[in-house]
Amino acid sequence: MSASYEVRGNVAVITLNNPPVNGLGAATRLAIADGLEKAQADAAVSAIVVTGAGKAFSGGADIKEFGTPRALAEPNLLSLIKLEEACSKPIVAAIHSVCMGGGLELALGAHYRVAAPGTNVALPEVKLGLVPGAGGTQRLPRVLGLETALNIIVSGEPVKSELLAMQPGQKLFDRMIDGDLLEGAIAFAKEVAEVRPLPLVRDLKVKHPEAQAFLQFSRNTVGAMSKNFPAPLQCVEAVAASLGKDFEAGMKVEREAFIALMFTPESKALRHAFFAERAASKISDVPDGTPVRPINKLAVIGAGTMGGGIAMNFLNAGIPVVMLEMKQDALDRGVATMRKNYEGQVKKGKLKQEKYDERMALLSTTLSYDALGDADMVIEAVFEDIDVKKAVFQELDRVMKPGAILASNTSTLDVNKIAAFTKRPQDVIGTHFFSPANVMKLLEVVRGAATAKDVLATVMQLGKKIKKTCVVSGVCDGFIGNRMIEQYSRQAGFLLEEGATPAQVDKAAEKFGFAMGPFRMGDLAGNDVGWYIRKRRYLEKPDLRYSKTADLLCEMGRFGQKTGAGWYDYVPGKRDAIPSPLVEQMIADYRKDLGITPRKISDDEIVHRLVFALVNEAARLLEEGIAQRASDVDMVYLTGYGFPLHRGGPMCYADTVGLYNVVQMMKRFAQNPHDDATFWQPAPLLAKLAAEGKSFS
Ligand code: NAI
């Protein structure tokens, strides 16, 4: 059923019924249109109430139909709203819980609106790189005024109905209903049943004392804040068109903007990310509904950089945490760092003092493994050393209760090996958080060879509870994200050898949209981390070529911001990266040793060598089944590595460029005598897709 119809007394009630949020799919639209027709044909009906069953009035477009012909099937939303406006009997939209996007536009087509307090009202289209497409930009200013409507449309953020109802002169809601919404709506419908002419939002006028000045101010601020995205400014222009006298002319402006934006790479990227986030939570052989284990208490081993941040995630979600360390002073330091972090949030007004107290009250500490027996899950975040991990996991195997989940936050070690230290490898999993763990959205969930399906399902659900974007990775060195970043870093090093400076590479990457270029990122994370990994690589894979510039930098003691110097110089206490003549000289000397005459490298070449290094490695991860799908790789890069959202992730970007073109560029890079020709051998999957004219998506 997509919408039901019933008559109560002399009021027809059309109830949208398309779980979970009454998306306006083709069948639902048709059922609403049928209901309107039936109500008009029935002489006993004098008014109509439209409402939603379950958890929403309507969340808007049905995402299951996005991009399919069904999304446009008649009656489309515009036609449906025309039917509402042409209806000979008054329509009352009874709004509750969620009223967003097309759902709000449908409500604005009704003659009246009544609402329950607590309803989230929004036009979130801008978040998908679009403007509202069914009159939202024209009707919302007519009922809420220019400023409030513009703020709602440009931000895409929900606003509570009771706040909107308090706006002076607002005409969005005709009545707020505290008790039974449907009963209240029916009573209201009876009151207005005979009122003629029927009021239409389109007939209202948008007024503002200083409209043009306000619009100019909006253009300036919105333009500055949304430089990579065209949609917010288009929202301003569409709302500006609502000031004209001719409603249809405004609708035309909105329509043209909607269609133009639909084809922009930015909207494509945002829509891709929207669906990628949802897809990432699906695991092909772990169906929805797989039973999960209850996690009411968590243990964290190690109160260092990661342990403290990890613990905070769970405290924030109301889950008690017991934290274990080897020594009391390490424990005290860890807790003090957590406190400092929370206190910073309190100072900035982001956290209430009571909440801070509540969260800290959920934390206990111990030096004894025997105190962990009542925890349902443990996350280990001790030194990255397999022997230390072995000792820890053997202790955990001894003390943790049967069925408890044993997770490691290792970033480079073999989760299968760690699982084998216990007698319960089915309960062992990797949870790879990113630093700072209480801030970064990404959580790589590492599935060991023996990890039980319910363990995986539990950790995915728990990840969602602590507001992470969870992406499943198989076991390999570096998992998805770090295995790819190693190839990106290798290219960054080769670029220095050939003539680029760290600042030039970073600038090109940042102009492309990366939050930080590779060298600024290295200085922030610590250049010694990569040095440590490379030393291991030199033994494991002696044929793999790395630029030695990063090693020379570390030999100079320039580990990055923490040592006050890295690829860049830093003024004590500041984070501004200042190009270092010393480093540039070191690179120039090294070039000379290699016999390379430096050349000018274009920003375009820099960006494509960095990004396609990621893409080629990701194609291998897909072939090996380490990553489940290309869009998972994109989620890892968007949420963990500062890849520009408006590009949709490396795989989405490669699809936009066209895989044939990607392979052609890689062939050109391979001809460069100073680059590594084997590096640019396209992964078989990439070569195959390119040859077949296909894309990753
Ligand atoms: P850290 O050195 O800041 O903290 C490790 C803590 O573990 C120290 O406080 C130490 O006293 C404690 N510890 C060591 N052995 C112990 C034992 N046997 N029992 C109890 N506590 C013990 O290290 P960090 O950076 O927090 O890393 C921890 C883990 O997280 C490592 O496996 C690392 O690879 C991983 N990781 C680190 C990231 C980072 O950016 N720092 C990112 C993602 C993962």
What ipTM was assigned to the predicted interfaces of this complex? Answer: 0.98
- What's the pTM value of the predicted model, to 2 decimals? 0.92
pLDDT value, residue 72 = 87
Q: Is 335 in the pocket of ligand 1 (CB under 6 A)?
A: no
Q: How many whole angstroms separate alpha carbon 253 and alpha carbon 212?
A: 17
CA-nearest residue for atom 1, ligand 1, is: 304
pLDDT value, residue 417 = 98
Cα–ligand 1 centroid distance for 303 (angstroms): 7
pLDDT value, residue 1 = 64
pLDDT value, residue 392 = 98
First-residue to last-residue Cα distance in the chain: 32
Q: Is 532 in the pocket of ligand 1 (CB under 6 A)?
A: no
Pull the structure tokens for residue 640. Answer: 């963990």
Cα–ligand 1 centroid distance for 307 (angstroms): 7
Q: Where are the beta strands (DSSP E) in 85-187?
A: 91-95, 98-100, 112-115, 120-122, 159-160, 175-176
Q: Is 302 in the pocket of ligand 1 (CB under 6 A)?
A: yes
Q: Is 301 in the pocket of ligand 1 (CB under 6 A)?
A: yes
* Peptide linkage before 197 cis (omega within 30 of 0): yes
Are 176 and 162 contacting, i.e. CB atoms less than 8 angstroms apart?
A: yes
Buried b (16+ CB within 10 A) or exposed e, 497-509: bbbbbbbbbbbbb
The domains found in the chain, sorted by start residue, are: 3-262 (3.90.226.10), 298-473 (3.40.50.720), 481-691 (1.10.1040.50)
**DSSP H/E element including 207:** none
Cα–ligand 1 centroid distance for 306 (angstroms): 6
Helix (H, G, I), strand (E, B), or coil: what is residue 277? helix
Cα–ligand 1 centroid distance for 381 (angstroms): 4
The minimum-distance atom of ligand 1 relative to the CA of 333 is 9
Pull the structure tokens for residue 621. Answer: 């991860």
The residue to mutate among 300, 301, 305, having the most atoms of ligand 1 within 8 angstroms of its beta carbon, is 305
Cα–ligand 1 centroid distance for 409 (angstroms): 8
pLDDT value, residue 244 = 84
The residue to mutate among 310, 324, 383, 636, having the most atoms of ligand 1 within 8 angstroms of its beta carbon, is 383
Q: Is 305 in the pocket of ligand 1 (CB under 6 A)?
A: yes
Residue position matching structure tokens 């490898």? 425
Catalytic residues: 105, 125
The minimum-distance atom of ligand 1 relative to the CA of 307 is 26
Q: Which residues of the chain have pLDDT under 70?
A: 1
pLDDT value, residue 230 = 96
Q: Is 556 in the pocket of ligand 1 (CB under 6 A)?
A: no
Pull the structure tokens for residue 559. Answer: 């580990």
Q: Is 481 in the pocket of ligand 1 (CB under 6 A)?
A: no
Pull the structure tokens for residue 477. Answer: 């060195």
pLDDT value, residue 573 = 86
Q: Is 411 in the pocket of ligand 1 (CB under 6 A)?
A: yes
Cα–ligand 1 centroid distance for 251 (angstroms): 57
Cα–ligand 1 centroid distance for 385 (angstroms): 9
Q: How far is CA 481 from CA 187, 330, 494, 636, 696, in A?
A: 58, 30, 20, 6, 17
Q: Is 413 in the pocket of ligand 1 (CB under 6 A)?
A: no
The residue to mutate among 335, 365, 394, 411, having the most atoms of ligand 1 within 8 angstroms of its beta carbon, is 411
CA-nearest residue for atom 31, ligand 1, is: 384
CA-nearest residue for atom 13, ligand 1, is: 382
Which tens digits make up the pLDDT trace of 280-311?
A: 999 999 999 999 999 999 999 999 999 999 99
Q: How many whole angstroms separate alpha carbon 116 and alpha carbon 175?
A: 9
